[in-house]
Amino acid sequence: MSKFIIQGGKRLEGEVKISGSKNAALPIIAATVLNGGKTTLYNVPDIQDVHTMFEIIKDIGGKVVKRHNKIIINTSKIHTYEIPDNLMRQMRSSVILAGALIGKYHQARFSCPGGCDIGARPIDLHLKGFEKLGINIKEEFGEIVCSAEKIIGTQIHLDFPSVGATENIILAACLGEGTTIITNAAKEPEIEDLVKYLNKMGAKIKGAGTDRVEIIGVKGLEEISYNIMPDRIEAGTYLVAGAITGGNIKLTNVCPPHIEPILNKLEEANCKLIIEKSTIQIDAPKRIKAVDIKTMPYPGFPTDMQSIFGALLTTAKGTSIITENIFESRYKYVQELNRMGAKIKVEGRSAIIKGTRRIQGAKVVATDLRGGAALVLEALMAKGVTEIDNTHYILRGYERIEEKLKKLGAKIY
């Protein structure tokens, strides 16, 4: 398995360019199915989860060509509507392809997505939305089979503002008949980016980024090119790399409004920030102040930053409380941080973190993408050497992370 060896204690300084957003790229790649032709994408992150989505597109008959700084996807020859089981198991979020296949071909087949290391992650809200659109859903031998004569626009209220369910319903409805209204829709920036892409192709969608999204079905969609938005969680991760090492880092190619809640918490923790249109510079104190975190749907504090702040707060002056309100088991990283000397106690959905200066390098194991990122950040600050195993989790969502950290002065091998 892949490993990182990190010699901690180094103050990080310098500039880092933020890559394209994983969580915008994945639904947009799925949406390329809808125009049955070519899409040229720019600023696509070179990460494992994106490669997995490309594999699925090729497996069902699409073509994916990488040329310099762009990816050309051609979905004119899609010949199957089944998401391959092995790839579905590898990446649960490939369920987003179901909405696109149903929207374009009125059929899709996929295995029930397994859970993962951050919780059960059901798809009941996706399926309920599909049914309201007139899609028949049956379960056969652990597979979900969707089919429809036609897709009829309707009103859909989400019990929870699920990002994936909002995206999947939009994809299934945009070539349907009539108008679909989603209420209690998720408002994440990645949904706005997906809708900007769809509207550029000729879709008629309003309200993305609010809790009420209106989709007026259209007959067909055009071939276009599109530039993926910056990754707000990668941006937050490198800001915390500066904060946890008492460093000074400038991020370029970022969108500050997308990460307001993160910037607000870093300032509360006594970090100085210089925020401009597409850059953010962080100048961190030797030791940050303890702060409390409650994860919420956007525009609240993002759950994907919970473990990353968990690492940061292990060295804060004082005691912090984190409350995870989105996923039911997103604290697997805590036991690994405690092996390094952190003082974290998990009680139900909360983690109580007593700040300490005594964090030592150790042998630790990544359990998921953002938990793994938390271990890297802790290792950058720890005294001595840390060995992180299972780093393939981290490479799922962070483009060239070793190279970017080395450029900031980190000793990572």
Rounded-to-integer distance, Cα 185 and Cα 188, Å: 9
Among 12, 16, 18, 26, binds ligand EPZ (CB under 6 A): 26
Q: Is the dihedral of CA 213, 219, 167, 135 positive or negative?
A: positive
Residue 277: CB atoms within 10 Å: 7
Rounded-to-integer distance, Cα 412 and Cα 20, Å: 23
Q: Does 236 bind ligand EPZ (CB under 6 A)?
A: no
Counting every residue written for the chain, the total comes to 413
Q: Does 374 bind ligand EPZ (CB under 6 A)?
A: no
Query: Hunting for tokens 């990572």 — which residue is that?
Result: 412
Judged by beta carbon, residue 355 or residue 368, the one nearer ligand EPZ is 368
Binding piece for ligand EPZ, criterion CB under 6 A, among 115-123, 218-226, 316-324, 374-382: 115-123
Q: Does 114 bind ligand EPZ (CB under 6 A)?
A: no
Q: Does 191 bind ligand EPZ (CB under 6 A)?
A: no
Q: Does 355 bind ligand EPZ (CB under 6 A)?
A: no
Q: Does 168 bind ligand EPZ (CB under 6 A)?
A: no
Q: Does 46 bind ligand EPZ (CB under 6 A)?
A: no
> Residue of minimal CB distance from ligand EPZ?
164
Rounded-to-integer distance, Cα 34 and Cα 21, Å: 21
CB of 29 to ligand EPZ, least distance (A): 11
Cβ–Cβ < 8 Å for 389, 362: no
**Side by side, which strands form the sheet with 279-283?**
13-17, 248-252, 279-283, 272-275
Judged by beta carbon, residue 23 or residue 75, the one nearer ligand EPZ is 23
Size of the site for ligand EPZ (CB under 6 A): 26
Footprint (CB under 6 A) of ligand EPZ, residues 122-161: 122-126, 160
CA distances from 48 to 22, 124, 307 (A): 10, 27, 20
Of the candidates 285, 356, 252, 337, the residue with the CA atom closest to the CA atom of residue 11: 285
CA angle 241-247-250, nearest 5°? 75
Judged by beta carbon, residue 194 or residue 288, the one nearer ligand EPZ is 194
Token pair listed for 122: 């059901």
- For residue 116, indicate whether it is catalytic: yes
Q: Does 258 bind ligand EPZ (CB under 6 A)?
A: no
Rounded-to-integer distance, Cα 226 and Cα 13, Å: 32
User: Of these residues, 112, 116, 255, 271, which one is catalytic?
Assistant: 116
Binding piece for ligand EPZ, criterion CB under 6 A, among 34-42, 98-106, 118-126, 306-314: 118-126
Terminus-to-terminus CA distance in the chain, angstroms? Answer: 14
CB of 120 to ligand EPZ, least distance (A): 6
Residue at 261: amino acid letter: P
CB of 287 to ligand EPZ, least distance (A): 28
Q: Does 164 bind ligand EPZ (CB under 6 A)?
A: yes
Which amino acids are annotated catalytic?
Answer: 116
Residues making contact with ligand EPZ (CB under 6 A): 22-23, 26, 93, 119-126, 160, 162-165, 186, 190, 303-304, 326-327, 369-370, 397
